[in-house]
Structure 1
Amino acid sequence: MSVQDVLKVIEENSIEYVDFRFVDLSGKAHHITLPATEVEEETFENGVAFDGSSIPGFRGIEESDMVMLPDTESTFIDPFTAHPTLNIMCNIHTPEGDRYDRDPRSIAQKAEEFLQTTGVGTAAFFAPESEFFIFDDVRYESGQQSSFYAVDSEEAAWNTGRKEEGGNLGFKVRQKGGYVPVAPVDTQQDIRSEICNLLADAGLRVERHHHEVATAGQGEINFRFDTLTKTADNLLKYKYIVHNTARQFGKVATFMPKPIFGDNGSGMHVHQSIFDGDTPLFYEKGSYANLSETALHYIGGILHHAPALIALTNPSTNSFKRLVPGYEAPVNLVYSKGNRSAAVRIPVAAVTPKGCRIEFRTPDSTANPYLAFAAMLLAGLDGIKNKIDPRKLGYGPLDKNIYDLSDADKAEIRSVPASLEEALDALEADYEFLLQGDVFSEEFIHNYLSFKRDEAKSVSIRVHPHEYSLYFDC
């Protein structure tokens, strides 16, 4: 879409405001809004200024001036604003016009550019399955003398005896019993359908939606794959629309990996493949799961670099509350054509040559998608470049229920890091693969490590409510 096309959309849709957006290191969107009357061709050439020192992990106050340059291919009309508003994603530049090397979106674009220089293929495609919870109520506090959280849902298993509903109507979702039940157990069909309609209006091709395994309102909506940066853009649209549609229904949505104890958490399984023009590079008929050697080496790169990769794909302390055995969590660094306890799964049902792909199941939606997708691609390309064979390194294939294996057999399987601190240590020891093509810089990695270590420390030094249960009577 050209600048003129965007200006035409503004005119034809009586747009009153244009919202210019960018993402920070954590993947959270920020915005500055201009009246549509102030948006001209020069706006797209010169960009929109903002204060980088007010964004955590960006710039110091002595060098705070930064510029958003809008990407005309990323526009969509906001479905929630009272005044017609057009939203546009932007890249971040310095006042001198250089790409800002801490801009996650620019890093994603550099990863796509690097792929084209390798001779491996022309495009990488990604499709995230980003799960979420929709609650009726959420309260939390973390202070000097008090710390708690409480969530509630009309669907929750713990509400079978609640009287406050004006007559309890039953049909609650049992613990781990929420996978695709019909109404009245599934109370959120209309919410998810409304989300799907709005996603379609925003340009996403929705493939399906359904209730997920956990009690208390867990859901999933799948949208069609696209190239790396476009998929990251789409994921931001997706989260924005899920959050705000839930709000319109008087509810609250969260992509937090483990918001409730004792049930499945929310992951972001990421399907990925590489094409050379129209030719899929991951397919080879008759091989294991119809995977080509290129695909196997890509898997080898993902699994070999997984401990470091997870610092970018699972970058929260809460991520590791989900990554524990027993809740379908993909904690085992192996690949399999059907095993959902494996970190890498190969979908085999109803798959065509062009649909042949690998699914990295470990990530969650606290990840910044621009950074996570770029890092996954670079890990996979490193595997292709160095012919990392997962079969020779003990990464599978493993088509057994890993949780049923003996302790001796389990001990032979590498697991994901047990904490954010461990993942950050792994990244600090293994980040050379991210420097390929100058996609990530060393300065970015060191800044990211410092940013995330501060975050991890802020959690580790706080008193946990469960410590009172364990130790108060000592």
Structure 2
Amino acid sequence: MSVQQLLDLIKEKNIEFVDFRFVDLLGRGHHITLPATEVDADTFVNGVAFDGSSITGFRGIEESDMVMMPDPGTAYVDPFTAHATLVIVSNIHTPDGQHYERDPRSIAHKAEEFLQQSGVGTTAFFAPESEFFIFDDVRYESTMNSSSYFVDSEEAAWNTNRKEEGGNLGFKIGVKGGYVPVAPVDSQQDIRSEMVRLMQESGLRVERHHHEVATAGQAEINFRFDTLTTTADNLMKYKYIVHNVARQYGKVATFMPKPLFGDNGSGMHVHTSIFNGSEPLFYEAGAYANLSELALNYIGGILYHAPALIAITNPSTNSFRRLVPGYEAPINLVFSKGNRSAAIRIPIAAVTPKGCRIEFRTPDSTANPYLAFAAMLMAGLDGIKRKIDPRALGYGPFDTNIYELSDDQKKEIRSAPGTLDEALDALEADNDFLIEGGVFTKDFIENYVAVKRAEAKSVAIRIHPHEFGLYFDC
């Protein structure tokens, strides 16, 4: 969409406000709203100013002036505002007109440009499966003398004897019993359908939705793959709609990887492939899982760099509450066709040459999608450049249930880092693949690690409620 077409759309739709948005280091959206009467062609030349010192991981107060440069191709009508509002996603520039090197969206653009310059292919496609929970109640606190959290759901396994409903209607979902049951066990069909309806109205092509494995309202909605930056834009839109529809229903949605102890967490399995024009580069008929050597090298790059990559694709302390054995969590750094216990799964059911892809199952939705997809692409391209063969390095294929292997057999398999600090250690030691071609910068990585180290420390130094059960009577 051109600037003029967008200005015409504002008039045609009787838009009252234009909401300019950008994404911070942590993947959170921010916005500044202008009356539509103040938006003209110059807005797309001069941008919209904001204070970068107030954004986590951006700039200090002495160099705080920053500019949002709107991308007219991202425009959609906000489905939640009382006044007609058009949303436009922006890149971030410095006052002198340069792309800001810590802007996640600009990093995503640079990764796409690097692919095109590499000679490998023209386009990388991404499709995330971002799982979430829909709760009826959430409460938490962390003070010097108190620490607690509480979540609740009408359909949760622990509520089979609850009376507050005005008469318990039963049909609660058992632990690990939530995968695709029909109503009335699945009580959230309508809320997910409303999310899908608004996603479609906002330009997303939604393929399906369903209840996920865990009790207490775990859900998944899948939208169509697209190019790297566009998919990251779409995921931000997806999360915005999920959060706000849940709020409209008097509920709350969270993409937190592990809000419940003892049941499945929420991942963000990411499907990806590379094309050269219209030619799919990951397909070779008759090979293992119909994968080309280029695809295997791409897998090799991701698995080789996985400990460092996970600092970006799983960037929260809570991520590592999910990445533990026994919950379909893909902690094993191997690949396999159809095997969900491997970090990389190769879908083989109903796959065409153009649909041939890999699925990296380790990531979760605390990741900033622009950074996560860019880092995945850079790791895979490094594998192609260096012809990393995952088979030669012992990364598979593993077509058995890895969790059922003997302890001696498991020792031969590399595991994902066990903590955020371990992943950050790996990122500090292994980041040359990210800074190739200036996609990421040393400054960005040092700043990113510093922000995430502070998060990890803030959790590590606090008293955990479970410690009272373990040690209070010592």
Q: TM-score, normalised by structure 2?
A: 1.00
Determine if the alignment matches structure 1 residue 250 to structure 2 residue 250. Answer: yes
SS at 1:216 equivalent: coil
2:80 maps to 80
- Aligned-partner Cα distance in 1 for 2:144–2:75: 44
Alignment partner of 1:211 is 2:188: no
Q: Which amino acid aligns with 2:271?
A: H
**1:138 aligned onto 2:177:** no
Distance of 2:202 and 2:123 partners within structure 1:
23
| Distance in 1, Cα, partners of 2:197 & 2:209 | 11
Q: CA deviation at 1:343?
A: 0.2
Look up the equivalent residue of 2:445 and give its one-letter code.
I
Q: Distance in 1 between matches of 2:421 and 2:74?
A: 35
Amino acid at match of 1:105: R
Alpha-carbon distance in 2 for matches of 1:442, 1:453: 16
The whole-number CA distance in structure 2 between the counterparts of 1:12 and 1:324 is 52
TM superposition shift of 1:9: 1.1
Counterparts of 1:269-280 in structure 2 under 5 Å?
269-280=269-280
1:46 corresponds in structure 2 to 46
Distance 1:204 1:434 in 2: 30
Equivalent residues in 2 for 1:20-59, closer than 5 Å: 20-59=20-59
**Any idea what SS the aligned residue of 1:149 has?**
strand
Which residue number in structure 1 is paired with residue 264 of structure 2? 264
Q: How many correspondences in the alignment?
A: 474
Q: Which residue identity lines up with residue 424 of structure 1 in the other structure? A: L
Asked if 1:397 corresponds to 2:427, the answer is no
2:4 aligned partner: 4
Q: Hey, what's the Cα distance between the residues in 2 that align with 1:354 and 1:91?
A: 31
> SS at the partner of 2:108?
helix
1:415 equivalent to 2:405? Answer no
Aligned to 2:162: 162
1:42-74 Cα deviation digits (max 9, x unpaired): 000100000000001100000000000000111
| Residue deviations 1:162-213 (CA, integer Å, cap 9, x gap) | 1111000000000000000000000000000000010011111000000000
Aligned mates of 1:456, 1:24 — CA distance in 2: 19
Q: CA deviation at 1:436?
A: 1.1
Tell me the distance in 2 between the aligned counterparts of 1:8 and 1:296. 47
Aligned counterparts of 1:207 and 1:249: Cα–Cα separation in 2: 23
| 1:279 maps to amino acid | E
Aligned residue in 2 for 1:382: 382
Aligned amino acid, residue 321 of structure 1: R
SS state at 2:354 partner: helix
- Aligned equivalents of 2:147, 2:13: Cα separation in 1: 48
2:93 counterpart residue number: 93
1:275-319 superposed Cα distances (whole Å, 9 cap, x missing partner): 000000000000000000000000000000000000000000000
Paired residue secondary structure (1:272): strand
Q: Which runs of 5+ in 2 are unaligned?
A: none
Pairing 1:300–2:300 present: yes
Per-residue CA deviations over 1:66-100 (Å, capped at 9, x if unaligned) read 00000011111000000000000000000000000
Q: Does 1:199 align with 2:183?
A: no
Structure 1: which 5+ residue stretches go unaligned? Answer: none
Cα deviation, residue 361, structure 1: 0.1
* Alignment correspondent of 1:441: 441
CA–CA distance in 2 between the matches of 1:169 and 1:447? 51
CA separation in 2, counterparts of 1:40 and 1:233?
A: 23
Matched residue, 1:368: 368
CA RMSD of aligned residues (A): 0.3
One-letter code aligned to 1:381: L
Partner of 1:121: 121
Letter in 2 for 1:10: I
- Matches of 2:196 and 2:294 in 1, distance apart? 35
Query: Match of 1:134, as an amino acid?
Result: I
Q: Distance in 2 between matches of 1:286 and 1:221?
A: 32
Please identify runs of 4+ aligned residues in structure 1 that moved more than 4 A.
none
Q: Secondary structure at the match of 1:344?
A: strand
Distance 2:368 2:188 in 1: 27
Correspondence for 1:285: 285
TM-score (normalised: structure 1): 1.00
- Aligned-residue offset at 1:244: 0.1
Distance apart, 1:441 and its partner CA: 0.4
Match of 2:190 in 1: 190
Q: Tell me how far 1:8 sits from its aligned partner.
A: 1.1
Q: What does residue 180 of structure 2 align with? A: 180
